[in-house]
Structure 1
Amino acid sequence: MSYNNVLSATNEGVTTITINRPSKLNALNSETIQELHTAFKKADEDKVTKVIIVTGSGEKAFVAGADISEFADFSVSEGGKLAAEGQAKLFDFVANLDTPVIAAVNGFALGGGLELAMAAHFRVASDNAKMGLPEVSLGVIPGYGGTQRLPQLVGKGRAMELIMTAGMIDANQALQYGLVNHVVAQENLLEFTGGIAAKIMRNSPMAIAAAIRAINAGFEDGENGFDAEVMEFGNCFGTADFQEGTQAFLNKRKPVFTGK
């Protein structure tokens, strides 16, 4: 499929989705959000794809924020609709995919860019990455899940400070905070992230999807994560992957999972 602002390529089970607006530092506009939704949906439904990596084109930015020119004149109702539709179409959509999503954060990840990275299941950063939620400097707050996901990842106090000061942190501080899992040299970012993807692909896609659902349930209002874990654990017993995994273990061979 052809996109204006997104590149998508699949190689050996990994689909890499690249936000490709380098002249705008890969800023998210409505067209890009829709294209990302389509690209993620297509990758998640593709039987060949086992892991999705999302990154930005060029060396300067993952995503430098939202395209402010699109909503500078919005009314209260239009602003609320923008946030609700964006969360449903992209950020919550990505967070709840069954296919693992890794954000390879190269350069600036600000505003909606950091919110997209936080919606991924985990993050790897280049050593030149800078992250922050600067929305209050524009008289608004993060609207794509930032006020919820940042405290979950770094704690309430640090999230409050980062959001209130509209400040940025570098990759090493993000690692210290637990916002990213790894920091690597920019030239090694995709290779390193691909190595993690390869480790993930050795395991059962059915079990990985179940684990994502169970983990996410623990962060949702009205959901009991322990109950979700019990249900997902039990459901695993009805999969071909469980039969293959246990038989491979008992017979001292490597499993060949089919994702069924």
Structure 2
Amino acid sequence: MTREDAVQAEQSNGILVLTVSRPQALNALNRRILAELRSRLLQAERDDAVRVTVITGEGGKAFAAGADIGEFMDLADEQAGREYARHGQEIFAMIASLTKPVIAAINGYALGGGLELALACDIRCASERATFGFPEATLGILPGFGGIERAARLIGRSASLQLMLTGMPIDAAEALRLGLVDRVVAHDGLMREVLALAARMAEQPPAALAAIKECLGRGMEAEAALFGRLVVSDEARSRCRAFLEKRRR
């Protein structure tokens, strides 16, 4: 890890913390950051020492305050714009499909592409100071990294449309009420809370966590098939045996 990295990485006790490191631009997501997120997450997926990944932003102001608007101005034509959006969609879809849990620690602004990044994560924990929104319409564009569909699935069509059609930001309390985030905690205690949650997940068998994630969206048949595979595994047998022996004492 060097200070030149656009995404800082720290790993301990099965938890990988990835920090978007562009505080001078409120951690706006440019191509370099997206490429480094992709590389580090794919590496974590292959690394047995990593059980859970946390994504956050450097500094106390922003998780990620959108995509880099300056890069929009370099898009030469409609085809270039489409390819730019597809690239972001592919990376965020990869995040959503990882077998290992990914937690967003939202420590400030999560706007536009930054909110889309948070939505691609499995769990969203926010500082009480965090701010959320989709301001794209105010720029004459729309969320292009998969956020429209993910937001609608998470908080419903009407709530998503209100955020996107007005471009108005909301605070952490309203985001929690809508279900946009799962937890809101004191700003200074955010990483402590997130790391405690990640540690609890890291204690569980990786195969069970991966199977739970795989079942989402696949229906009860997949659930039954994966249950059947797991329940006869050595890991499950050992843990169930320990539970029963403890209960008999």
**Structure 1 equivalent of residue 190 of structure 2:** 189
**Structure 2 equivalent of residue 235 of structure 1:** 229
2: CA distance between counterparts of 1:163 and 1:95? 21
3-state SS of 1:62 partner: strand
3-state SS of 1:102 partner: strand
Q: TM-score, normalised by structure 1?
A: 0.90
**Structure 2 equivalent of residue 109 of structure 1:** 110
2: CA distance between counterparts of 1:242 and 1:92? 30
Q: Does the alignment pair 1:146 with 2:147?
A: yes
> Could you tell me how far 1:73 is from its partner in structure 2?
4.1
Give yes or no for contact 1:133–1:146 (8 Å, CA) kept in 2. Answer: no
Give yes or no for contact 1:103–1:120 (8 Å, CA) kept in 2. Answer: yes
**Structure 2 equivalent of residue 81 of structure 1:** 83
**Structure 2 equivalent of residue 135 of structure 1:** 136
1:111-150 deviation digits (Å, cap 9, x = unpaired): 1100000100010000110001111111111011111111
Give yes or no for contact 1:26–1:61 (8 Å, CA) kept in 2. Answer: yes
1:131-187 deviation digits (Å, cap 9, x = unpaired): 011111111110111111111111111001101001111000001111111111111
2: CA distance between counterparts of 1:73 and 1:10? 36
The alignment-based identity, stated in percent, is 41
1:41-86 deviation digits (Å, cap 9, x = unpaired): 1222221111111000000100000011112242111111111121
1: CA distance between counterparts of 2:150 and 2:161? 12
Q: Note the 1:7-18 alignment, pairs <5 A.
A: 7-18=8-19
Structure 1 segments (4+ residues) deviating >3 Å: none
Amino acid at match of 1:246: C
1:194-250 deviation digits (Å, cap 9, x = unpaired): 1111221222211111001111xx1xxxxx422222222222135332222222222
Q: Which region of structure 1 is more displaced relative to structure 2, 141-150 or 72-81?
A: 72-81
How many residues get paired?
A: 245
2: CA distance between counterparts of 1:172 and 1:96? 28
Q: Note the 1:209-220 alignment, pairs <5 A.
A: 209-215=210-216, 218=217
1: CA distance between counterparts of 2:187 and 2:50? 25
